[in-house]
Structure formats: structure tokens, C-alpha cells
Amino acid sequence: MVDINILPVEILWKIFSYIPAQDRIFKVGEVCPYWYQLVTNNDRFMSKITFVIYLEDLYTVEKNDCRKKLDFYEINSSKFSFVPFIKSVKVTTEDIQIFRFNAIQYVLTSYFKNVKKLEFCNVHAIPRSFLNVIFSSLRHLEIFKINMCYFTNVEAFLEMKHLKTLTTFELLNGYYFCDRHLEVLALECPSLNHVWIPDSRAISDNSLINFIKLKQSSLLHLGINGYLITDNAYTALIECQNLITLYVEDARKMTEKGMKVLLKLPKLQNLTLKTISLNIDEPILNLIQSFMAKNKKSAW
């Protein structure tokens, strides 16, 4: 009988890549010590896995349930010797009535301390104390995304002061995100270069200008809501010489002055302006045509 282990390591990795992520973690590594070493020692291979934690599975476990979901009992098993190699975790729920924050806090702080990407999706009533513990423990976190989540205390975002390695922050449906939260990102997250808060209508001119002053050399991607933003902030963006992507939701307060500045940003490749109300004259039209000829990913 031919031994599969005589195949080159690259071939085995290729075979493993066709196996669902959780099966690679819970099954492949249990076949033999050699396979355990293969799936845990290849950082490039393991870093592509996103571990999805379903909160409803932390609440109850059905013995006959064959869904490929992570449950609290599996988390506490010896199988989790693999987890330190996971770089990406998504916490979600299909039932907004289930709140098991003690359990999820234990999971993240005990087994995912090396995670670099964390995403919360459709999780409601998140307490500030929960984020405080999470952010204090995940010292290597680089990407933090929040989608359709709600907090018991909007000041929970102030706990992002612990995220010294954060490079990317995205918040969808974040109407409660305001000036003091943006200030924390600017002052406490030195590596930040990607901020996406298109639903945050409480961001003011002064707050955005101060943020730009602190991040002008590092900012690459910015998504904002222009409900309170005027040309004062748009013209300040000229200092962001490395800006690649700009998305503005509700840009109705932008005038020709602000538009001209944005179109002159040297490295800007992706520009999206929603709900603009300015009258576009010939000079502005020429600038737009020139920009669109150079960059194919603009939208108005």
C-alpha cells in the first residue's frame, strides 16, 4: 500500500485546502502527528481560516445537530490545541434574543489571543465591560469590523484605546458613533490606515479635521457620512497625500471648492460621492472627466 505521506508537503497542503476550515482543524490534525504538524505549522495556510462562532451554539447544543458550527462544549475540549494558529474570528448569531457574552468573552480571551481579525455580525446589546476585556486581551488585533450590532452603552467605543496595533476599523449601521469615538481612534491607534463609518451622521467638521491632522500621512481608505461635513473638512483632505479610497455618504453640503480639492488628491483611485447637490460647471466637469479617465472606479 502506498503511503500518502510520501507526497511533497506542498501537495498535501493543496489537498487540505479543499477541506472545510473546521474539518481541517478538528479532523485533519487528528489523523496522525505528521498531519497535525502540517496544519498547525504553516502560518500562511492557517491564516486563511476564518473561525465562525455562532452565539446560538453557545447557548445550547443538540446532540444530533450535524451543522458545522462551533459550540461551547467543543471549545472546552482538548481539540482546541489548534486554535492559537487561527488569525481570523467572526462572531455572529441568527437569534438576536441569545446573549452569552460571558461565554464568548471566555472563548476569545482564552483561545484566540493571537487573532488579528475580529468581526461581530448581528450581535445585540453588547456591554461596554465586554469590549473592555476583549480589547485588553487581544493585543495583536489589526482588523476590527462591526456589522448590524448594537451596544448597551455607546461609550463602549472608548475601549478601543487598547487597540494599539489596529490598522482597519469598519462600522456599518453605526449611527451612534460620534466625535469622541473618532478622537480615540486618532489618538490611541497609531497604525490605523483604514476607517469606514459611512452611517455615522454625528461626525462633525472639527472632529474630522483633527482626525485628518493626526492621520494625514498614514490614511489610505476613508468612508464617512457627510451629513454634518462641509468644505472645511473636505479641503483638509488635501493633506492626505496617500489616500487611495474615499467614500462619502450624503455629500449634499459639498460645494465646488471641496470637489476640486478631492479631484486633485494625487493617489486617489476610488471616489464615491452619494447624494451630491452641487451644480457642476464646465471646469468641474473637466476635472471629473480627467479623474475618471485616470481612475475607472469612481462613482457619483
Domain extents for the chain? Answer: 49-166, 169-300
Helical spans, DSSP H, in the chain: 9-16, 21-23, 29-31, 33-41, 43-46, 55-59, 72-75, 101-111, 128-137, 179-188, 205-215, 231-236, 256-263, 282-294
How much of the chain, in percent, has pLDDT values that exceed 90? 30
125 compared with 262, residue with greater pLDDT: 262
Residue 81 has pLDDT above 50, yes or no: no
Q: In the predicted model, is pLDDT for residue 99 greater than 80?
A: no
pLDDT for res 23 = 66
pLDDT tens digit sequence for 109-127: 877 778 888 988 887 778 8
DSSP track, 143-175: EEEEES--BS-GGGGGGGGG-TT--EEEEES-T
Closest CA to 54 of 67, 64, 41, 42: 67
Question: CA 32 to CA 100: how far, in whole Å?
Answer: 35
At 9 the three-state DSSP class reads helix
Q: Has this prediction a pTM greater than 0.85?
A: no
Residue with cell 490606515: 193
Q: What is the predicted pLDDT for the residue at 130?
A: 86
Q: Which CATH number fits domain 169-300: 1.10.260.40, 3.40.190.10, 3.80.10.10, 3.30.413.10?
A: 3.80.10.10
Using alpha carbons only, how large is the chain's radius of gyration in Å?
Answer: 23
Name the phi and psi angles at 37, rounded to 5.
Answer: -65, -40
**Mean pLDDT value across residues 38-51:** 56
Q: Decide which of 243 and 33 is more confident.
A: 243
The least confident of 56-65, 80-89, 173-182 is 56-65
More confident residue, 58 or 299: 299
